[in-house]
C-alpha cells in the first residue's frame, strides 16, 4: 500500500499541462505491456517485453500509475475470476488469427464503453487484455501480445483521449486509491461490479452477432 500512497502524491503533481494524444496513447500502450507482463507472470507463463526508454521524470510517473492499475486489476480479477479467464474460449475465437484477436478485443472494448467511460471500465479493459494475452501465449502465439497492445493503443486513440485529457491523463487513475478507507473501497467495488455485469453482456453480444 506504500506504493499506492505515494501514487496519490504524483496524482497531484504530475502533468501540469494537458497531455497530447500521442503521449496518452504511448502511455496506454506502456501500461498495457506492464499489465500483460504481470498477468503472464501470475499465470506462470513468460513473455519478454522491451522497456521503452523514457526520461526519468516521465517514466517514474508511469510506474506509479502502472502499480495502481495492476492493483485495481487484480482486485477485479479476484472478485470474478471466471470472467477474466479463458477469454478466447468465451469469445470462441482462434488465437492463431491476428484479425480474429484484434476484432474480438475491439468489439468487446466497444461494448464495454458503449454507455460511457469510467475508470472501472478502463481497468476492466486492461484485465481483458491481460486475460486474452494469457490465452494466446499458452497456445504458443507470443506475437499476439503485440497485437493486443496495438489494439489497446488504437482504441485509446480513437475513444478515450478526449475523456483522459480534461482529467490530466492517466495519473487521474491514482485518485481511485488516494484514500484506502472502507468507504472508498466499497465505492470502487460497487463500480467494478457494474463494470463486470456490462462486460458479461459484451461477451454475449459478441457471441450472438452475425459472423
Give me 2's grid cell.
Answer: 506504500
- CA gyration radius, the chain: 16
User: Is 2-208 a domain of CATH 1.10.437.10?
Assistant: yes
Give me 78's grid cell.
Answer: 479476484
- Contact, 202 vs 112, CB < 8 A? yes
Burial 65-83 (b: 16+ CB within 10 A, else e): bbbbbbbbbbbbbeebeeb
Cα–Cα distances (Å) from 69 to 76, 172, 206, 208, in that order, read: 10, 11, 26, 31
Tens-of-pLDDT digits for all 211 residues of the chain?
555 555 444 444 444 567 899 999 999 999 999 999 999 999 888 655 544 444 333 434 778 899 989 988 998 888 888 888 899 999 999 999 999 999 999 999 999 999 899 998 999 999 999 999 999 999 999 999 999 999 999 999 999 999 999 999 999 988 776 444 444 444 454 455 455 555 554 554 444 343 3
Q: How far apart are alpha carbons 101 and 132 in whole angstroms?
A: 8
Tens of pLDDT, residues 4-52: 555 444 444 444 567 899 999 999 999 999 999 999 999 888 655 544 4
- The residue among 74, 80, 70, 88 whose CA lies nearest residue 33 is 70
Tens of pLDDT, residues 135-145: 999 999 999 99
Give me 171's grid cell.
Answer: 495519473
Give me 183's grid cell.
Answer: 468507504
pTM greater than 0.85: no
Amino acid at each position: 500500500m506504500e506504493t499506492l500512497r505515494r501514487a496519490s502524491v504524483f496524482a497531484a503533481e504530475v502533468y501540469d499541462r494537458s497531455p497530447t494524444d500521442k503521449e496518452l496513447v504511448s502511455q496506454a500502450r506502456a501500461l498495457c505491456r506492464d499489465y500483460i507482463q504481470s498477468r503472464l507472470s501470475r499465470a506462470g507463463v513468460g513473455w519478454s517485453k522491451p522497456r521503452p526508454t523514457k526520461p526519468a521524470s516521465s517514466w517514474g510517473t508511469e510506474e506509479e500509475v502502472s502499480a495502481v492499475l495492476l492493483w485495481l486489476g487484480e482486485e477485479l480479477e479476484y472478485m470474478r475470476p471466471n470472467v477474466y479467464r479463458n477469454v478466447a474460449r468465451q469469445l470462441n475465437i482462434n488465437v492463431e488469427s491476428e484479425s480474429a484477436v484484434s476484432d474480438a478485443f475491439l468489439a468487446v472494448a466497444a461494448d464495454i464503453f458503449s454507455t460511457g467511460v469510467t475508470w472501472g471500465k478502463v481497468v476492466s479493459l486492461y484485465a481483458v487484455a491481460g486475460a486474452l494475452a494469457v490465452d494466446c501465449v499458452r497456445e504458443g502465439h507470443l506475437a499476439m501480445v503485440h497485437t493486443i497492445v496495438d489494439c489497446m493503443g488504437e482504441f485509446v486513440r480513437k475513444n478515450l483521449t478526449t475523456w483522459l485529457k480534461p482529467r490530466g491523463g492517466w495519473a487521474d487513475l491514482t485518485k481511485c486509491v488516494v484514500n484506502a478507507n472502507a468507504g472508498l473501497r466499497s465505492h470502487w467495488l460497487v463500480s467494478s461490479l457494474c463494470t463486470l455485469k456490462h462486460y458479461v453482456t459484451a461477451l454475449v453480444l459478441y457471441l450472438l452477432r452475425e459472423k
